[in-house]
A and B are shown apart, each in its own frame.
Chain A
Amino acid sequence: MELAFHLRDPAQVKASNDLNGNLSILYGEKAVKGLYWSERHDQESLRLYIGDEFCIHRLPDPAEFDTLCQLAKGENRALTFLTPPLTDDGIDRCGPLFDILKGMDRRTEVVVNDWGVLLFLKKKYPSFQLSVGRLLNKGFKDPRLMNSDEALTLSAETAELFNTCTFDSVEFPEKMRQLNITRVERDLLPFGEPEIECHGELQSSVYFPFGYITTGRVCWMSSFHTVAGKKFSISNGCRQTCQKISLKLNHAKTDLQLIQTGNTIFYLYAPSKLAALVKQAETQKLRLVYQGLIV
């Protein structure tokens, strides 16, 4: 198992040393005690994830980015830079960040959540190791399905649909081989089995303890301090309210715990799913990416 932590700012690196403490806040101490963590996830394997998959406004500026890179260097931790879907202008804006990343060691990765960004990086920065992000991995995650018992009453074809996603299709690994991609990023499907299928040479990074449900460029939170009529527009700037506030969403139609951070809605894995994931990570050499510090 390889363990990684997604950080927003350098101060969070301390919190990354207390994974069980962080998880206890979300699950309670009793549930966390039952998790099997390998003794072997030493400093060497504690990779840092920086950047953001969902929103360009949450990417660090070049100075902050450089600080995070230096932190990883200083701690001898490998680095993964998460990028969101990007417009042409967004790709240009990320140029200085990619240039900084060019100077990092060869363990450094970039996660792409946009096929255009992938082509751009392959051409302009051919030395980068690229991983395909979870926004390019489609599957069924609507929390209003109520619960997994309901899914079990459905046909075999429907159950297959709830249990699989883009990355699981037989066509996908071959396309990744053609593109020279060796890693994909993913999360657990809320109504599927917790096991991650491994396909060919493709390695998997699995985010925990949250999966994402939906996102978009229109942001509830960035509009919070905007005047009526100007809200919910993608052309407004952003005051990064999401760095300080997150929301809970409740409804009788779901028993999942839903949390909104910025433009994205996440669900918390059930304790049993998390436990199964941790166990599988050990035997199948998955990388687990902790995102409890940023949601």
Chain B
Amino acid sequence: MKIAAPLSSATEVEMLLHYGADELYCGVRTPEWEEHFGGQVWMNRRSPQGANLGSWEDIQQVVNLAHRKRIRVHVTLNAPYYSQAGMDYLIKLAEKLISELEIDGLIVSDLNFLMRLAGEKLPVNLHLSSLASCINSRAVDFYQSLGIKRIILPRQLQLSEIKSIVTQSDSPMEFEVFAVNDGCFFEEGFCQTTHALGGPFCLTDWEVSVHRCDGDPISNVQIAQHHAELREYLWYQNNCGSSFQQDGLPNGPCSLCWFGHFRDWGVTTVKIVGREASFYRKMRSLQVVKAVMDEVKAGGAGEEIEQFARSLRATPQYCDQGYMCYFKDR
């Protein structure tokens, strides 16, 4: 299994390679896109300023540094939907990224954009973003027929469901699974909102009241209590308030305990989330993932990996609370 690490600046590349990233992924922003679409329509899922490389030279530098170490660079063009004008522009951008900068892969979500890319037969690997919400093994065949080489599985899956998708696939499809950071309350592939309008929709402070109640009455006090618990859950999903353990390792949702199973099932890559995270958080996230990955590569059994991963968590009470895991069966 490989580790895919995020970056948003060329200055992060050496650190990521030094600490064991096997692949890099990034997004780009361009003045042409911003001129045409403004700040409310993002080219990919993350903020143009906070999570994306902003100059051609930066991208070139990232690719050069990575390729020198034979590390692949994948670029996200994974907004859930592009208009016709958006796709026209992005096809040209993709051609340029591939022919001039020699990026290795594109991470995409929009079905029409994927079909157009496939039609162009560009010399690049196409990866399916988690935003495409591939949640069963039959969908793997559908996306393979469109030229997808790797599927990034979404967060809202149980362990048994990941196993089913990965092990039932007869195709040579690669599978990537979330490793650490940034949960999501809704299924991002079916969420038609944007973080561009003041942050995630689920973190907006909605005033909630009863619209219809046909059974036992439900009071606004009960709703408020449940909503307080939701806020606590979202705090965990939001990297425990973007906090760190005392030893510097990052708090937040993860699947570290299950790496041994992922290896045994045939998962290709684990993904560190957070292109917009700080240099420090990226580094510490990679260190914790690499530590567990080393145990996986040493051949430890699934239960041993789980124990080891738990031992790295200096905040076991967070794990015990029940809101830290991406994937669970119980």
Binding site for B on A (CB under 8 A): 85-91, 114-120, 135-136, 138-145, 154-155, 157-158, 160-161, 164-166, 169-172, 175, 212-218, 220, 223-224, 228-235, 243-251, 253, 258-260
Given contacts A145-B197, A155-B36, 6 further A-B contacts (CB under 8 A): A85-B135, A160-B84, A169-B87, A172-B111, A245-B210, A245-B214
Contact with A along B209-252 (1 / 0, CB 8 A): 11111110010001100100110110000000000000000000
Binding site for A on B (CB under 8 A): 36-38, 40-41, 80-87, 110-112, 115-116, 133-143, 156-158, 160-161, 164-165, 168, 184-187, 190-194, 197-198, 201, 204-215, 218, 222-223, 226, 229-230, 232-233, 321-323, 328-330
Question: Contacts A114-B135, A235-B329; is A244 near B214 (CB within 8 Å)?
Answer: yes
**A-B interface, 10 closest residue pairs, ranked by CB to CB distance from nearest:** A116-B139, A116-B138, A216-B187, A138-B81, A216-B186, A229-B322, A244-B215, A141-B192, A142-B193, A169-B112
Which B residues touch A87, using CB under 8 A? 135-136, 157-158, 161, 164
17 of the cross-chain contacts (CB-CB < 8 Å) are A85-B187, A86-B136, A88-B136, A143-B193, A157-B36, A160-B83, A166-B110, A169-B84, A170-B84, A171-B115, A172-B111, A213-B191, A214-B191, A234-B156, A234-B328, A235-B330, A251-B207
B139 touches A249 (CB 8 A): no
Which B residues touch A228, using CB under 8 A? 229, 232
- For B198, give its contact among A115, A119, A144, A172 (CB under 8 Å): A144
A171 touches B112 (CB 8 A): yes
Which A residues touch B156, using CB under 8 A? 216-218, 234
A234 to B64, CA, bound (A): 42
Question: Contacts A114-B136, A117-B138, A172-B112; is A216 near B209 (CB within 8 Å)?
Answer: no
Question: Contacts A89-B160, A234-B156; is A224 near B226 (CB within 8 Å)?
Answer: yes
A217 to B142, CA, bound (A): 22
**Whose C-beta in chain A lies nearest to the C-beta of B209?**
A248
Which A residues touch B201, using CB under 8 A? 142, 144, 213-214
Least CB distance from A126 to B in Å reads 15
B193 touches A230 (CB 8 A): no
Which A residues touch B208, using CB under 8 A? 247-250, 260
- For A120, give its contact among B138, B161, B165 (CB under 8 Å): B138
Question: Contacts A213-B192, A249-B206; is A88 near B137 (CB within 8 Å)?
Answer: yes
